[in-house]
Structure 1
Amino acid sequence: MIKLAYIDPYPVPDTRVASLQILQNIDAFARQELEVFLVTPKSHISTESLLGRSVSAGVTFFPLKDPRKKWYFPFNTQKIFFFNVLKWLKKNQVDAIYTRNLKMARFLLSKSLKIPVIFETHEIFAQSFKESHDLASKTNRRKYNNLLKNEHFVYQNAAAIIVLTSFLKEDIYSHYSVDTPCVIAPDGVDSIAAQEAYASSPHTRKEPSSIFYLGSLHPWKGLPIAISAMRHITGAKLTIAGGNAEQIEKLSAFAHQEGVAQKVEFLGYINPLHRFSEIAQHDICILPLTKTSIASRYTSPLKLFEYMAMRKSIVIADLPSIREVVDETSVFFAQSENSDDFGVVLQQVVDDRIESDKRAANALELSRSFTWDHRAQVIAKTIHNILHKF
């Protein structure tokens, strides 16, 4: 059996989205007959509190000491953890290393470990930084150039790169001129949890209809577009789950500014364990993504697959990354960054229950092709191929 070390410099399990994704991945990897060693800083959260169950028996947790944020270590450097990882690798024989942290990958690849390192990336970090920072700043230019160098080194020296979309693969090759094997593996849905929640959830439409968004409130998610779109909506209310107090305060102020505060409710943070039961309480689910690179070309939205698995009517921004996995037979598209169009489409879904139910049923069927197990099969095959040639 192949021994795979999945390494990340942040605790797993944890409530961070990336941590939850890692947890789902290692759980599915172990079901593909990989022996998985999860090497991260110590976590104070249980797997059961996030997944509602234990991970597969083939996963072993190896929490390492990490002095960050301790009273006796007033620095936020990851270097101590990195060197602890090196010590761990010398004591524990593994066949391959898997990580999605750029700095971790850069460090490991610079050490000539003679162990293949597979790097999973969800974006071109330099591109995302460029779009969200002012490069007129000398500090920002330095950070941007460092990202370019680090990404090029990792993409050039990794045994394989795992990406979410074909567009990300295309941009890595065109931006960095590397020939490293690049494997497309979209995100997935926890089919076990989704099926349990769907079986026990109500399947009748509310009056008025309930529109729902679940996820982070980062600018590229496009929440102001959805809020502004409520100006055009009758017979429905919007519920937004996720985000921190500062983000919610800003969006709440925007809702008042747009004159739709009475139509918008903020739930705040939702424990991942309860996400499917929360989705089940609503009729229409949305993803009003923006035209940024990460949204339009690189994302494979977890929430899209979770909405689909719960047989929800979905209104989503019309972007290349989204059309790579769904079309008009399973979702409703609206123009990205166009609140008027988003509102028109939302009202159509509110009014036309027959068509929205039809597409929701198609989305449920399609979701069975986007599970963590399906993703793990693709990646496990890649690891087998690498080791055969290594």
Structure 2
Amino acid sequence: MKLIYISPLRYPSEKAGSLFSMKACEAFAEEGLLVELWVPRRRNPIRHDPFDYYGIKRNFRLVYLPVVDLSPLPFFYFPLALSFAVSVFVYALIRRIPQAIYYSHEEFALFLLTYLSGRTVYEIHDFPGKSVLFRYLFRRLDFVVANNQWKAPKIKERFSFPPERILAVPNGVDLAQFSIPLSKEDARQKLGLPSAGKVIVYTGSLFGWKGVNTLVEAARVFSEGVAVYCVGGGEKDSADFRKKYADISSLHLVGQRPHAEIPLWLRAADVLVLPNTAREDISKYYTSPMKLFEYMASGTPIVASDLPSVREVVNEKLVYFFEPDNVADLTRAVEDVLGNPSDAAKKSARAYTTVQRYTWNVRAKEIINEIGIAK
């Protein structure tokens, strides 16, 4: 049986969704499935091979399909999504893959595929609206995978979807990639960071719901000798942050880096911050933050926003919580970590133990078993 994973994103890209799809496909393939990842052939400022960029094994096939890509023009997404859906449908018709599993978080393409032979699995990363498309899609789907527990009962309520065909399973992490045999000092040397002083690190995008502005504002009041490094973000977002926060000398906006380099940043840090906002539902309820699992796998102490989406994975025994969007409370939590290294080490050790059950392969096995995919 072949699993066809369908994603409308750029490969590679600065968004976590692209990494997620690559890691999911790698894990499904490692569990014995024949896997293909179908993606749009889009304009891409990142000129790297996706497998090398993310450090992914070449155990599945990456297929690029033609689309109408009008980015960066406004409203480019609809023609992109529509043309991608048509390309996927036509390609599937041509291929005529027997016993295919069509697996996607892209509703347009998946809806068309429900009219072909094969099974359809919808993985939900945000939360579906009440549009006609979603109502018809949920009537035809074979299975739904939600990336956190909050969504499962809500999907049943909104779409009257059978609960026995809904699986809630969080995102995952590659433990080997983040459990690197390097000291903090060695990691800093490799990255060209000063050996002295305290280092606070955030990795990921700079979108508003990520809450990075709260961390950046806290950089104004951290103790002397504490530096903040934000690793990630697209060119425009990084440029906007540099302009807005040019007066903060302790802030370093590193920009987008290959994912294979991220473990070095996590090891080089004294504190890792997950500053998600409580002002948007995607952050408060919908997400299953991949960076949280990566932080846990690094063994470095974590400061995190106290949100329902985060508490599905961790508690006070594993991380230091702070009130979301509260600069003073984030500052307090970081100072707690720096001022209590023994307690911080115990929490990070417990977090590392806990994250062992959140690997990509554990996740893939659970999905395969629940859906009943024959290898």
Range into which the TM-score falls when normalised by the shorter chain:
0.7 to 0.9
Give the aligned partner of residue 140 of structure 1. none
Q: Which amino acid aligns with 2:66?
A: K
Helix, strand or coil for the counterpart of 1:363?
helix
Alignment of 1:373-388 (within 5 A): 373-384=361-372
- Matched position secondary structure for 2:102: strand
With over 3 angstroms needed to count, the CA separation of the structure-2 counterparts of 1:14 and 1:224, relative to structure 1, is closer
User: What SS does structure 1 have at the residue aligned with 2:230?
Assistant: strand
Aligned to 1:348: 336
Taking the aligned partners of 1:13 and 1:255, their CA distance within structure 2 comes to 28
Q: Distance in 2 between matches of 1:36 and 1:222?
A: 35
Match of 2:181 among 199, 202, 216: 199
Question: Which amino acid in 2 is paired with 1:46?
Answer: D
Q: 2:162 aligns with which of 179, 184, 189?
A: 179
Tell me the amino acid that sits aligned with residue 383 of structure 1.
I
2:233 aligned with 1:243: yes
Question: Which stretch of the first structure deviates more once superposed, 336-345 or 204-213?
Answer: 204-213
Q: CA deviation at 1:47?
A: 3.8
Distance 1:212 1:227 in 2: 11
User: What residue number does 1:29 align with?
Assistant: 28
Distance 2:10 2:176 in 1: 24
Aligned ranges for residues 89-104 of structure 1 at < 5 Å? 89-90=92-93, 91-95=95-99, 96-104=101-109
Kept after mapping to 1: 8 A contact 2:318/2:351: yes
1:302-359: CA deviation from partner (whole Å, max 9, x where unpaired): 1111111110110000011111111111111001111111111111111111111111
- Cα 1:94–1:194, aligned 2, differ >3 Å: closer, same or farther? farther
Structure 2 equivalent of residue 296 of structure 1: 284
Equivalent residues in 2 for 1:330-349, closer than 5 Å: 330-349=318-337
Which moved further from structure 2: 79-88 or 296-305?
79-88
Question: Does 1:121 find its partner at 2:119?
Answer: no
Counterpart residue number, 1:221 = 210
Residues in 2 aligned to 1:362 and 1:88: alpha-carbon distance in whole angstroms: 47
Cα displacement string for residues 199-233 of structure 1 (whole angstroms, at most 9, x for unaligned residues): 13436996421111110011111112112223442
Structure 2 distance, partners of 1:252, 1:14, is 21
Unaligned runs of 5+ in 1: 127-146
What residue is the counterpart of 1:65 in the other structure?
66
How many residues get paired?
354
CA contact (8 A) 1:164 1:186 kept: yes
TM-score by length of 1: 0.82
CA separation of 1:321/1:104 partners in 2, compared to 1, >3 Å: closer, same or farther? same
Report the secondary structure of 1:340's partner residue. helix
Q: State the 1:174 CA deviation.
A: 3.0
Give 1:131-280 correspondences, 5 Å limit: 148-179=131-162, 181-195=165-179, 198-202=180-184, 207-234=196-223, 235-255=225-245, 261-280=248-267
Residue 270 of structure 2, aligned match among 270, 274, 283: 283
Q: Is the 8 A contact 1:211 1:238 kept in 2?
A: yes
Tell me, in whole angstroms, the C-alpha distance in 1 between the residues paired with 2:12 and 2:241.
29
User: Offset of 1:271 from its aligned partner?
Assistant: 1.6
> What is the match of residue 8 of structure 2?
9
CA distance in 2, matches of 1:366, 1:184: 18
Instruction: Give 1:99's aligned amino acid.
Output: S
Shift of 1:252: 3.8
Query: How big is each residue's C-alpha offset from its partner over 1:229-262, in whole Å with a ceiling of 9 and x where there is no partner?
Result: 2344214221111223432344345546xxx702
- Aligned alpha-carbon RMSD (Å): 2.6
Aligned-partner residue type, residue 62 of structure 1 = V
Which of 83, 88, 94 is the aligned partner of 2:86?
83
Residue of structure 1 in register with 2:191 after alignment: none
Percent sequence identity over matched residues?
A: 25
Counterpart Cα distance in 2 of 1:325 and 1:190: 16
What CA deviation, in whole Å up to 9, does each residue of 1:30-89 have, x standing for no partner? 111111122223487424422335332xx233333335359xxx9944444333322332
| Correspondence for 2:192 | none
Contact 1:156 1:179 in 2 (8 A): no
TM-score (norm 2): 0.86
Alpha-carbon distance in 2 for matches of 1:369, 1:215: 23
SS at structure 2 position matched to 1:199 = coil
CA distance in 1 between counterparts of 2:13 and 2:214 reads 30
- What residue is the counterpart of 1:137 in the other structure? none
Find the aligned partners of 2:327 and 2:14 in 1 and give their Cα distance: 31
1:359 is aligned, of 347, 360, 370, to 347
Q: CA deviation at 1:158?
A: 1.4
CA contact (8 A) 1:119 1:162 kept: yes
Partner of 1:144: none
